[in-house]
Structure 1
Amino acid sequence: MSSNYKLGITKPFPCNYLPEQEERLLIAVDEILHERDHYGWLMQQGFRRSGNDIYRPHCIACHACQSLRVLVQDFIPSKSQKRLLKRNERFNVKLSKEVKESYYPLYEQYINTIHSDGSMFPASKEQFQSFTDNEITQQHYIEIWHDEVLISVAITDDIPNALSAVYTFYHPNYRKHGLGVYSILQQIEITSQLKRQFLYLGYQIEGCSKMNYKNRYFPHQILAENQWQTVNK
């Protein structure tokens, strides 16, 4: 694809992940980029989306944010991941392509219970819609059920040759079941079933405890110095 597209750069602002750091974003401004094929190409360059905004960290003195994607066709779960899959065998996984009314109450309970000390508290429908509403690409909603109870939803973008994890929320009563990890394992499985090559997990940030969990799925690739580098266990 051509690289002659209109991009913008934000002014520096306080970093959301690393204390005492400033953050700056490169924004895909050109409207032609706001569709599935171009977005897939942008993700190969380290971009992600928030709602209809497509961005990439573009900080002057920091390169802590590294885009990470799992090589799903070669993925081998670790011993702890295998144990988690075994422990959660009773759960059922379903795939939906549309938002259901049952999603928001679960999301609200998740934010207001588990993230009551975070910037997203209190939950709102407008906030929820920022994850589910976009004009760029279609989405899959990976549901996890315990009998008749919906306990988790993973919002996942569908892009060429890949899926991209957007946001996962789950029932607070099931926190001990490791539903965050379990949802990623299910996203990997579904990506493989769809015969895609990658599952994008967003930015791995070693210095941030909330953002340094994504490098536990092998093999994966990180984007460093504009090159995808494969990391085997």
Structure 2
Amino acid sequence: MTKITLLKPEQSHACGYFSDRQSHSLYVDPRLEPAIELLTQLNLNGFRRSGKLIYRPDCEGCNACQPVRIPVRQFKLKKSYKRTLRNARHWTLSVEMPSAALYSDYANYISQRHADGSMYPPSYDQYKEFLVDGHDNHRFLVARENGEFRACLVFDLFLDGLSSVYCFFDPDYETLSPGSFMILKITQICQLMGLPWHYLGYWVEGSRKMEYKSRYRPLHIFKNDQWQPFETR
């Protein structure tokens, strides 16, 4: 990987997955303006993005956060996935530039789904810094029904694939599994673009809210500094 400056703040913060742990991360120097080649390289080495910040967990004594990706060419739709796509088939999709237009939908999602979390109460600055800001390689995949918002998946474009960053949706339509629907649609977009990988971010062993990622098979995991098949668990 191209040599870059990595920063590790001394101060830890509460872990977002385990209440009894503290979290540390390595950060790419925020003064760097990485080109798409470097962004792809960083992603391949387990780094993720939150707004303009590019980071990788680096917690002493814990290695629970591990990147996973779907090998798009091998991915097949099982019955439950086909049902998810069928149930929301009347939604229309568009790929859009990141903007302030969906802030109220984001705020509604956070208020209804994550009122007990660190992202509550939502604010426009939080939304902008988290999802709108970036390195010009991110987009919004937006699902609507008759012009009304249903879901948005924020994703990054890399040279070797697409990477899901965050999904928010209208909680009134939760029974249609909008999160799964959007992941499946991004995977299909990868297939149409001829890209080999759909990156799902960190799978966190032992965390219920991240366990869903292991249900997408086949799956690869970045472990011991190399990508390898995700073992059946």
The TM-score normalised by the length of structure 1 is: 0.92
- Matched AA of 2:61: A
Query: C-alpha separation between the residues in 1 aligned to 2:14 and 2:148?
Result: 40
Instruction: Write out aligned runs for 1:209-228 (5 A).
Output: 209-228=208-227
Q: Report deviation, 1:144.
A: 0.9
Asked if 1:178 corresponds to 2:169, the answer is no
Query: C-alpha separation between the residues in 2 aligned to 1:206 and 1:94?
Result: 33
Which segment is superposed worse, 107-116 or 9-18? Answer: 9-18
The TM-score normalised by the length of structure 2 is: 0.92
Identity within the alignment, % = 31
Query: C-alpha separation between the residues in 2 aligned to 1:21 and 1:138?
Result: 33
- Which residue does the alignment assign to 1:22? 22
C-alpha contact (below 8 Å) 1:144/1:152 kept by paired residues: yes
- Which residue does the alignment assign to 1:189? 188
- Which residue does the alignment assign to 1:46? 46
Query: C-alpha separation between the residues in 1 aligned to 2:199 and 2:129?
Result: 19
Render the CA deviation track for 1:61-91: whole Å, top value 9, x for unaligned. 0111110111112211222111111222222
Query: C-alpha separation between the residues in 1 aligned to 2:33 and 2:229?
Result: 27
C-alpha contact (below 8 Å) 1:9/1:25 kept by paired residues: yes
Query: C-alpha separation between the residues in 2 aligned to 1:135 and 1:64?
Result: 26
Return closer, same or farther for 1:13/1:115 CA change in 2, 3 Å cut-off.
Answer: closer
Q: CA RMSD in A?
A: 1.8
Q: Report deviation, 1:232.
A: 7.4
- Which residue does the alignment assign to 1:131? 130
Q: Report deviation, 1:6.
A: 1.2
C-alpha contact (below 8 Å) 2:68/2:220 kept by paired residues: yes
C-alpha contact (below 8 Å) 1:48/1:55 kept by paired residues: yes
- Matched AA of 2:140: Y
Q: What runs of 5+ residues in structure 2 fail to find an aligned partner?
A: none
- Which residue does the alignment assign to 1:58? 58
Return closer, same or farther for 1:210/1:124 CA change in 2, 3 Å cut-off.
Answer: same
Query: C-alpha separation between the residues in 2 aligned to 1:192 and 1:47?
Result: 23
Return closer, same or farther for 1:95/1:58 CA change in 2, 3 Å cut-off.
Answer: same
Query: C-alpha separation between the residues in 2 aligned to 1:174 and 1:158?
Result: 27
Instruction: Write out aligned runs for 1:85-100 (5 A).
Output: 85-99=85-99
- Matched AA of 2:47: F
Q: What runs of 5+ residues in structure 1 fail to find an aligned partner?
A: none
